[in-house]
Structure 1
Amino acid sequence: MAELRWNPLLRTWTMVAGNRQERPNLRTDGCPFCPGSGNVPSTYDVLEYDNDFPALTTDPDEPDAVGSELSPVAPNYGKCEVILYSPQHDVSLHDLSVTHLTRLVELWTERQRILSSDPRIKYIFPFENRGEEVGVTMRHPHGQLYAYPFVPLKIRTELESARVWHDEHGSCLFCDLTRDEVSDGRRVILANESFVAYIPSFTDYPYGVFVASRAHKGSFLDFTPSERTDLARMLKTLTGGFDLLFSRRFPYMMCIHQIPVNSPEDVGCEESYHFHIEFYPPLRGETTVKYYASSEMGAWAACNPLRVEDTAPALAAACRKFEQTIVKP
């Protein structure tokens, strides 16, 4: 049984998905995402694959009869997709060519266009979990995409903060943040014509990089072909730098934030909100993990155990080192 349950304390929905208990855990009996498995085409480069264990579905279950006035329930309408990066089982995102990664960005763009045509979808969220430290159960290179029937609480909070800043200053909060980081320079990791990668001073994680578009853009649908290629190049170099930093496979959560769709209460948000990617890498050292514990989870009071002015130069150097190894497409 899967459904949505309303949290009256935070005023947002919780997805309940008992079916996900059946997911395989680092299975050793073959990979369903590899060609020849019978689950995917015999040849592909990048591919959308409907999640076998979705928390959200366009054919939702009837909710359990457990709701109340305080905490109603709703159907789990939406879509959960797997985005396969490559047919090769053992590659990482940074092993793929810029040309290949541009096709990945184009697939994200295509899914944004298709899913936003459903009026019941309010927010489209592509993301990647990498590494056992963040709960990955399939090693094959892939990300996921959730299309929600509501705007998630963290996005809602960002939208409101951006709206308030725009009302008070007449400018985009993310444009101003990126401009300040470039001006300061100490926390900048990478930059190209279209994007800047930096570790903002306030991030929860020692290596919590943000990637922001230089131009004020709201979603993948707003990018030009050259911007899509620049994003592909930046993701390749950044993730390659991550793996060089401690000479190991670097775990992370990559979260792509865009404007909502089909959301009347967010009409006009494209003026104040801005496409960006937030990385949450749990490592604070080669073998040490920065855990999200009671203060972070119970009070939403984050604590970063390291100064990002110290971590950013090391990651920037690793990215420069990786960039020297890239063969141009």
Structure 2
Amino acid sequence: MHRTVTELADGRELIYYDSAPGRDRRARDRRPPDRVESAPELRRDPATGDWVAIAAHRQSRTHHPPADSCPLCPSREGRESEIPAADYEVAVFENRFPSLSGPTGRCEVVCFTPDHDSGFADLTQERARLVLDAWTDRTSELSARPGVVQVYCFENRGAEIGVTLPHPHGQVYAFTAVAPRTAKHLAAAAAHRAATGRNLFEDLLAEARAAGERVVLAGEHWTAFVPYAARWPYEVHLYPHRRVPDLTRLTEAERAEFPRLYLDLLRRFDRLFGLPAPTPYVAAWHQAPLTGGDELALHLELFTVRRTADKLKYLAGTESGMEAFMNDVAPETAALRLREAR
């Protein structure tokens, strides 16, 4: 991996990730240096302990622009974008409309490909590996920033999920407070250790591998399985067999195997409903916080809001109001259907 660090016209950082050195990344951002004024605020809900980001400036963020005005495509004559280069492999830049910035953290956009009409599942294994290397690099660099306690890499795909830019991309958040779901993981892991003397996430992986019926696919270093109490109709967790806290601790063998398994998993999701349109999904990397996260395990959680070819899983009153999920698909059935979606 070779990286080139530069700046956009308004001073935001832009980083190109290339599979080899030698690419000319000197193209300048020719847009006016107008920076969006943002002052996100973190507020703690005293009733739950959860942190909520208040980011009112995001009301004016770009929303479903026409393809010829996509801000994530490479720049060309007469159409300048967030990426000045005429082509790129993987590009990462500071979000123009961040949910977190300054003392509240940092938000970055990760563009996987210059091809506007493709998706992560269309990448080669080599390009998927480059994205993994970029995620790892961002985790390492952002973790070293003052005040950052957790780094979160994720991808949202599909208008059904709420994506406002269809160009294939993901994001990286540097949190200055532990995310609510991570806090639940920490509490559950501590209780499991106290009760059994074992690690919760090692036990979850071992149980799924031993039972087999919820395993979707497995390799030498990774296993993808549907969790026992899946919240979403089709939800798969991808774990390395060796417990590590974050992406920076993976071995070369683990990194080398990941692209094949992950691309296989994404393509199964796309075949699941027999539709010409790709399946909407969220792919979320769960990494341990920088302190106090010794019991947590790096893993990726992938899920879709689609439950059938013509029905979506909406968060109804129980889920939205009480965080009490009701799943319409048995996890064992979901795993079977994904295994069959070859």
State the TM bucket, normalised to the shorter chain.
0.7 to 0.9
- The runs of 5 or more residues in structure 1 that have no matched partner are 59-75, 322-329
Equivalent of residue 137 in structure 1, options 129, 146, 164:
164
Give the structure-2-normalised TM-score.
0.84
Alignment of 1:111 with 2:111, yes or no, is no
Percent identical pairs in the alignment equals 33
Q: Is this contact kept in 2: 1:98–1:229, CA < 8 A?
A: no
CA distance in 1, matches of 2:194, 2:56: 42
Alignment of 1:23 with 2:52, yes or no, is no
Q: CA deviation at 1:234?
A: 1.6
Q: CA deviation at 1:194?
A: 1.2
Partner of 1:54: 98
Q: Is this contact kept in 1: 2:157–2:280, CA < 8 A?
A: yes
CA distance in 2, matches of 1:169, 1:216: 18
Q: Residue 152 of structure 2 aligns to a residue in which SS?
A: strand
CA distance in 2, matches of 1:168, 1:284: 36
Q: Which residue identity lines up with residue 109 of structure 1 in the other structure?
A: T
Equivalent of residue 44 in structure 1, options 88, 102, 122:
88
Q: CA deviation at 1:145?
A: 1.0
Q: Which residue identity lines up with residue 130 of structure 1 in the other structure?
A: R
| Superposition map of 1:136-285 within 5 A | 136-248=163-275, 249-261=278-290, 263=291, 266=292, 269-270=293-294, 272-285=295-308
Q: Which residue identity lines up with residue 323 of structure 2 in the other structure?
A: W
Q: CA deviation at 1:302?
A: 1.0
Alignment of 1:92 with 2:131, yes or no, is no
Alignment of 1:288 with 2:311, yes or no, is yes
Q: CA deviation at 1:161?
A: 0.7
Q: Which residue identity lines up with residue 284 of structure 2 in the other structure?
A: C
Give the structure-1-normalised TM-score.
0.87
Aligned pair in 2 of structure 1 residues 119, 167: CA closer, same or farther (>3 Å)?
A: farther
Q: Is this contact kept in 1: 2:70–2:81, CA < 8 A?
A: no
Q: Is this contact kept in 2: 1:163–1:273, CA < 8 A?
A: no
Q: CA deviation at 1:225?
A: 1.7
Q: Is this contact kept in 1: 2:40–2:101, CA < 8 A?
A: no
Q: Residue 307 of structure 2 aligns to a residue in which SS?
A: coil
Aligned residues: 296
Q: Is this contact kept in 2: 1:165–1:172, CA < 8 A?
A: yes
Q: Residue 308 of structure 2 aligns to a residue in which SS?
A: coil
CA distance in 2, matches of 1:38, 1:206: 37
Q: Is this contact kept in 1: 2:238–2:299, CA < 8 A?
A: yes
Q: What whole-Å deviation, never above 9, does each CA across 1:241-274 have from its counterpart, x for those lacking one?
A: 111111231011111101102x4xx1xx32x211
CA distance in 1, matches of 2:123, 2:252: 18
Alignment of 1:10 with 2:48, yes or no, is yes
Q: CA deviation at 1:176?
A: 0.8
Q: Residue 278 of structure 1 aligns to a residue in which SS?
A: strand
Q: CA deviation at 1:39?
A: 2.1
CA distance in 1, matches of 2:117, 2:128: 16
CA distance in 1, matches of 2:302, 2:249: 22
Give RMSD over aligned pairs. Answer: 1.3
Q: Which residue identity lines up with residue 285 of structure 1 in the other structure?
A: T
Q: CA deviation at 1:119?
A: 2.7
4+ runs deviating over 4 angstroms = none
Q: Residue 247 of structure 1 aligns to a residue in which SS?
A: coil
CA distance in 1, matches of 2:143, 2:322: 34
Q: Residue 134 of structure 2 aligns to a residue in which SS?
A: helix
Equivalent of residue 32 in structure 1, options 71, 91, 103:
71
Alignment of 1:303 with 2:303, yes or no, is no
Q: CA deviation at 1:284?
A: 0.8
Q: Residue 311 of structure 2 aligns to a residue in which SS?
A: coil
Q: CA deviation at 1:42?
A: 2.4
Partner of 1:63: none
Q: Is this contact kept in 1: 2:214–2:336, CA < 8 A?
A: yes
Greater relative contact order, per chain length (Cα 8 Å cut-off, separation 6+): 1
